[in-house]
Structures are given as structure tokens and as C-alpha cells.
A = this chain, B = another copy of it.
Amino acid sequence: MRRLDSSSADFQLQLTALLAFETSQDPDVDHRVAAILADVKARGDAAVIEYTNRFDGMSAQDFAELELTQAELKAAFERLPAAQAEALQAAAERVRRYHERQKMASWSYEDEDGTLLGQQVTALDRVGIYVPGGKAAYPSSVLMNAIPAHVAGVKEIIMVVPTPKGEKNDLVLAAAFVAGVSRAFTIGGAQAVGALAFGTQTVPQVDKITGPGNAYVASAKRAVFGIVGIDMVAGPSEILVLADGTTNPDWVAMDLFSQAEHDEIAQSILLCPDAAYVDAVAASIAKLLPNQPRKDIIAASLANRGALIVVKDLAEACEICNYIAPEHMELSVENPEALLPQIRHAGAIFMGKFTSESLGDYCAGPNHVLPTARSARFSSPLGVYDFQKRSSLIKVSEAGAQKLGKIASVLAHGEGLTAHANAAEFRLK
């Protein structure tokens, strides 16, 4: 695992190289995705059945075979071992409680002329959530996508989840039951994104698509953006631990692992002013790695994209953090509140030694769908606000029309837009 020192002359160059990640769109993938989307748009159900049979090794004859009934979702939940069922429900309950605080409300006020100004907040009518299937099946992602939509007041939540060779994941189905998914289809890839974006004979057209997926899914989401809303185009997962040296180094090592185990291209970074503590974490890594079932992925990820960085002090660590704008950020320090105001850019901030990232991933309450690849500079965690939208409200009084009409008339004439000016002038007495 590479070690850097912020006092090196070329540190900024090294840091830039460390963060560089080509999220470049593959023109070949885009091309194939465009063809699939056009076909799904033109032929609907028939096209989706064909692609699903071809790519997921299925043999469906009729679209009904690709729909999961509410009874199936419920049965999956009831089959779960008690500990899993309880953990799922406890997590869902905490996630729901947190997200309820995010709900936006309409507001309005009257100005001195009796003109009403405001904002009406409404929920989206119908959303689609994409849940990856196969090996990387994450029931927690079902909760994190569906619950905010539910809290927002979305009436219909349509889940799609591919089931390669027909293999269904009970935990995913159970999570859909717990989260209150309206309908669920065992389809995936660009064909599922197309079905949700355009609608087919069976799959209803949605207003927004959220949730992670592979390169085909990401390309398809980019392509349908505008026809429907999308959440974000996610990159590899990242953690940045900012440590003052007071947390057990084994704990920090395991927190770095829990990001690295996702993927060979996931990124785990430690920032600390204490070189001896960095040595201790490196020793913990060496000690703990051999016992990890996913040790090959972790080792590759740490070697490829990980870094242990010695910094001058905690203030400098905060500035480096703001440059990186990490998806997950642990303030693993004695007094996290003192540093918090200095952290401007991060998807989620985990404060204090007891707050492992994994607690937040599953059940603390906040969402685990977070901005990656430095996009926390300008975007937010997935939330209830992603499933609500605003309409401006303006009701100009007769008195207001006199005052505003004169201003609008001057500005409209200044822009050469006479009809705009006339529309305002018509309302003058």
C-alpha cells in the first residue's frame, strides 16, 4: 500500500494521480445500449423478453413470468431466519425515521401588495429502482432506494432486479417486501432501464430511475436522462479516514478493508499527522488481511488505489479531504465536532471512533447511496428530496400588477421582447 507525505514537493501531483480514475464512457457500450433502448422503445415487452432470455440465461415465454408477485416477496420475507428478518426490519425502521426529517413542505408568503409567492412541493408519481442481481446482490440498497421514495409520497415504486439463470435472492425479495415496493420485475441491464424509461405493454413508464448498476446500466441511464430523471452515475466506492491516532488501529484497518472489499477499484485512504500511528495501522493491515474471505479483492484494491498519507496537522488533513470530497469520510478523532466545520465536501461524515462506516451502510439511518469521484463538491446523498420536486407559485394582486408591470415592461423592452412587455402592460390600469 503506497505511503505519501504531504510535505513532499510533488505531493499534489501524487494526490492527483491517486484520485485519477477514467470514468470514460465506452463508445462500444454506448452503441450497443442505444440499439437495445431503440428496440425496447419500438417493440416493448417482446424485446425485453428476448434480451432477458439472451443475457440472463432465462427462457421466459410470457412477460408474466418476469414479474414477481407481492405473494412471492412476502414468502421470501417469511422464509428468512429470524435474525435476518429482524435486522432487516430494524434497519428499515431507522432508515425511515431519519428520512422523514428530510421531507420538504410547501410554503408561501404574501408581500406588501397582497401578491402571493411560494413553492408547492409534490412527490413524483412513479419511480423505478434498479437493483443489481447475481453475485453482488445488496438488499440494503433496496431499502436505501425504496424508503426515501416511499417517505416522499411516491405512489408507485417499480423495482427491477435481474435474476441470472432464474436465481432469486431471498434477502433482496424480502427487502422489497419490507420497503413496500409496488411491483417488481426480474429484468436487468439496458433493457430494464429502457422498459422503465419508455414503458412497455406490461412495465409502466416511470418518472425517475435510481439505483446502481454495471456499465450497461450506467450508459443506459445517461442516455435516457431527460426523458426521465436519474439519480447519479456512480463511480467506484471510496473511504477517507482522517485519524488523530486515538482510535484502535485494528478498527481503522478494518474500516479501510470494508471499502476495499467491494471492488478492486474501490479506494481507501488514511490521513494522519502521526507517522507512528500510520505504521501501527499498516501493521494492523498486515495482521488482519490474511483472515479476510475477500482478501484478494482487498489486497488488490489497497495496492491499486489505496494510500496511507502522513500530513502536517489536522487542519491540513481537512483541506486535503475537501479537495478529495470523499464519498465516505471518517473523522476518527477524539473531538470530531471541533473539526466538522472545516469539512465542506463529503458524502457522509462518520464521527468518532465508534462510528464505523459499516454502521452507516446498513442501519444508522442516513442513506448509503452517496456521491463518488469528487462529486460531493456539488451533489448530495440520495434522499427524500430526490423524489419530491417544487413548482413556483405566483399570484399577483391587482396592486402588485401595477408595480411589477412597470418593472417587467422596462426589462422586456430592454431585451427586445415586445409581447412580454405588452402582456405586462395590458394588466396596467
Contact = CB atoms under 8 A, between A and B. Distances in A.
A393 interface: yes
Interface in A15-31: 23
Contacts of A138: 415
B427 A354 contact: yes
A290 interface: no
A123 to B, nearest CB: 8
Interface in A387-406: 389-398, 400-401, 404-406
B423 A356 contact: yes
Contacts of A378: 124, 207-208, 228-229, 389
Contacts of A376: 389, 391
A396 B354 contact: yes
Contacts of A226: 23, 233, 373, 375
Contacts of A182: none
Give the number of times this chain occurs in the complex, counting copies. 2
Contact of A251 (B98, B349, B390, B423): B423
A103 interface: no
A39 interface: no
Interface in A218-244: 226, 228-229, 233
Nearest to A143: B411
Given A408-B361, A421-B358, A124 B377 contact: yes
Interface of A: 23, 83-84, 86-88, 90-91, 98, 101-102, 107, 109, 115-117, 119-120, 122, 124-125, 137-140, 171, 207-208, 226, 228-229, 233, 248, 250-251, 254-255, 257-258, 260-262, 292-294, 298, 329, 336, 340, 343-367, 370, 373, 375-381, 383, 385, 389-398, 400-401, 404-408, 410-412, 414-424, 426-427
